[in-house]
Structure 1
Amino acid sequence: MDSVVPVTELLTAILAEQLLFVGEETVGHYFGEDWEFVYRNREYLLWGTVITIVLTLTSILVGFLAGFPAGAIEAYGSGYSQAFVRKFGVLLRGTPILVIMIFTYFVLPIEIVLGAAEFALRSIEFLLGPTPFTVPTDVPEAFLAATIALGLRSAAYQSQIFRGALGSIDEGQMEAARSIGMSRLETIRHVMVPQALRRSVPGFQNEFTIVLKDTSIAFAIGLGELLKRSHDLFTQQTTAVLEVILFISLLYFVLTFGTNRTLDYVSNRFAIPGESS
């Protein structure tokens, strides 16, 4: 019961200030100096949350752009291409993400990667016309290295999600589409892929959550994401370690919970009629 009183008084203070601002002194008075320290640095931690979100999105995008073609090659390819994709995927899935990230940051020449990305983008624009995308040149190397590491590792897992989704579609649909004059490539593109994308949402949801939490590994290369910024704070005030950890745990929970609920909606919204989501 004693713990209920400070919470009630704090809510009263919030209402008294019209829910617009809670002073540091108010937090310190009801919860102590360490929570006041966390509250005072809330913007610093929230900016780390923004970096975590952006890193998650860019890594998932890289994973999708590389993982979906890889899954299609494993499902429908043959020969050297299938063998290469399969072995490379096994290598990435069997290597700890920390090792991959350290390799991309300290060993991989980022300039060459950016040059290759710019060449690929220009090739796409030459074939398909202008695109709204540009290759970033002023992004910190730590962020690029983390994106590449998380993206490649995610691609290795996403490829298996998409391979399984493609393999779950009845082969009779391929035969039916071929019987009405569609080529194999047209059948894969217009018949198999749309169904596979819908069926892969539950697996993709799990992978999205894993990548979100794995962004904390970027702490090892000094990227100022949420975990790195929390470490910076509790080294300044060591008595606030528990409070900082509890606060960032709450932020991670909000992010993962919001992501899961959003993807649950997407799964239900785009589920194949007649199939359970």
Structure 2
Amino acid sequence: MTDTVDTTPAPPVPPEQIKAIPVRHYGRWVAGVGVIAILVLIGIAFSNANINYSIIPQYLFDPGIVSGAWTTLYISVLAMVLGVALGIILAVMRLSSNPVTSTVSWLYIWFFRGTPVLVQLLLWYNISIVFPVLNLGFYKNEMKDVMTPVLTALLGLGLNEAAYMSEIVRAGIQSVDLGQTEASHALGMTQGQTLRRVVLPQAMRVIVPPTGNEFINMLKTSSLAYAVQLPELIRQATDISSTSLAVVEMYFVACIWYLFLTTIFSIVQYYVERRYARGSTRNLPPTPLQRMKKYLRMFGSFRRPEVAR
């Protein structure tokens, strides 16, 4: 009887599991400790400062402060609407092949972007020195009665904003491929129809994010209307501080209101950007609530990462 030899290959020996040793980043720990130490020192300095923090909640909803916050909000909205509407017109004029309209638009942008907003507000506020009477034929009145603080702030902020919005709109329009315009003209659309139905809807993806930033900046820039006697937030806070002698405390109250307003509109801007980004990206960025849930899940299941095999 012949013995059979087993020629079956032996099973491969699995490799020894790699033990990953995480790299120690001592610089991160030093930087983190340093930042925490600076924050602690700042907190100690403010806690020992001569500030009566207890009266801040008392004035947070003072009728004067609430009225000033409302004035800040509506003058910012009106000025932004004026700036956007005029900015679109200026952008179209700038892109026009007509040398007159293009030059006028360029000169407007050059002037309003090159001079400070505060100077423009003061010029509008004192324009009655140059033109004592406003005579439009169908309407005649003293210029000092026409140029109220509200109108002064609206013109000063809105006309200045139009110069910046025109550049934002122009960049958005130029971001749309020229073939879109040529295809629209081939379908028989006029220049205006092409702009309204084809170009601007696609340009909104580029226009919306900086426009949101401009509005948030407008909320803060409106504080310059304090110089033209507009009873906005800073003006009301200053008036209250002159009687209560709580100067720094009232500025803290104003800061809280500005932070509240800018936070609300930052959230609105985030969702508007998501809406107009739907056609340009496959994966939309997570909402703040989704991001918070993700971080909570990561915190709940926190463990040292393993090396992928």
TM range, smaller chain: 0.7 to 0.9
1:227 corresponds to which of 219, 224, 234: 234
2:195 corresponds to which residue?
Answer: 188
1:78 corresponds to which residue?
Answer: 98
2:84 corresponds to which residue?
Answer: 64
- Larger relative contact order (C-alpha < 8 A, sep ≥ 6)? 1
Quote the Cα distance in structure 2 between the aligned partners of 1:265 and 1:104: 36
Tell me how far 1:105 sits from its aligned partner. 1.3
Secondary structure (helix, strand or coil) at the match of 2:59 reads helix
The one-character-per-residue Cα deviations of 1:81-134 (angstroms, maximum 9, x if unpaired) are 001111111100111000100111111669849x69x9xxxxxxxxxxxxxxxx
Q: Normalising by the residue count of structure 1, what TM-score does the alignment of the two structures yield?
A: 0.74
Distance 1:264 1:37, change over 3 A: closer
Asked if the contact 2:124/2:147 (under 8 Å) is kept, the reply is: no
Tell me how far 1:196 sits from its aligned partner. 1.9
Query: Rg: which structure is higher?
Result: 2
Note if 1:267 corresponds to 2:273.
yes
Quote the Cα distance in structure 1 between the aligned partners of 2:187 and 2:237: 60
Distance 1:172 1:251, change over 3 A: same
Q: Which has the higher helix share?
A: 1
Asked if the contact 2:68/2:231 (under 8 Å) is kept, the reply is: yes
Distance 1:141 1:95, change over 3 A: same
Quote the Cα distance in structure 2 between the aligned partners of 1:248 and 1:155: 27
Quote the Cα distance in structure 2 between the aligned partners of 1:58 and 1:111: 26
Letter of the 1:91 partner, please give it. F
The one-character-per-residue Cα deviations of 1:159-187 (angstroms, maximum 9, x if unpaired) are 00100000111111111112222233322
Which is further off, 197-206 or 89-98?
Answer: 197-206
Gaps of 5+ in 2: 1-51, 140-144, 286-309
Alignment of 1:139-158 (within 5 A): 141-158=148-165
The one-character-per-residue Cα deviations of 1:21-67 (angstroms, maximum 9, x if unpaired) are xxxxxxxxx954x447635x712101100000010011011111211
Tell me how far 1:140 sits from its aligned partner. 7.5
Quote the Cα distance in structure 2 between the aligned partners of 1:110 and 1:67: 29
1:124 corresponds to which residue?
Answer: none
Asked if the contact 2:125/2:149 (under 8 Å) is kept, the reply is: yes
Tell me how far 1:274 sits from its aligned partner. 2.7
Gaps of 5+ in 1: 1-29, 119-137
The one-character-per-residue Cα deviations of 1:227-259 (angstroms, maximum 9, x if unpaired) are 001111111132x12211111101000101111
The one-character-per-residue Cα deviations of 1:202-222 (angstroms, maximum 9, x if unpaired) are 010111011111110010011
Note if 1:209 corresponds to 2:216.
yes
2:206 corresponds to which residue?
Answer: 199
1:46 corresponds to which residue?
Answer: 66
Identity value in percent = 28
Q: Normalising by the residue count of structure 2, what TM-score does the alignment of the two structures yield?
A: 0.66
Letter of the 1:255 partner, please give it. L
Secondary structure (helix, strand or coil) at the match of 2:266 reads helix
Tell me how far 1:272 sits from its aligned partner. 5.2
Letter of the 1:61 partner, please give it. V
Tell me how far 1:147 sits from its aligned partner. 0.4
Quote the Cα distance in structure 1 between the aligned partners of 2:81 and 2:132: 18
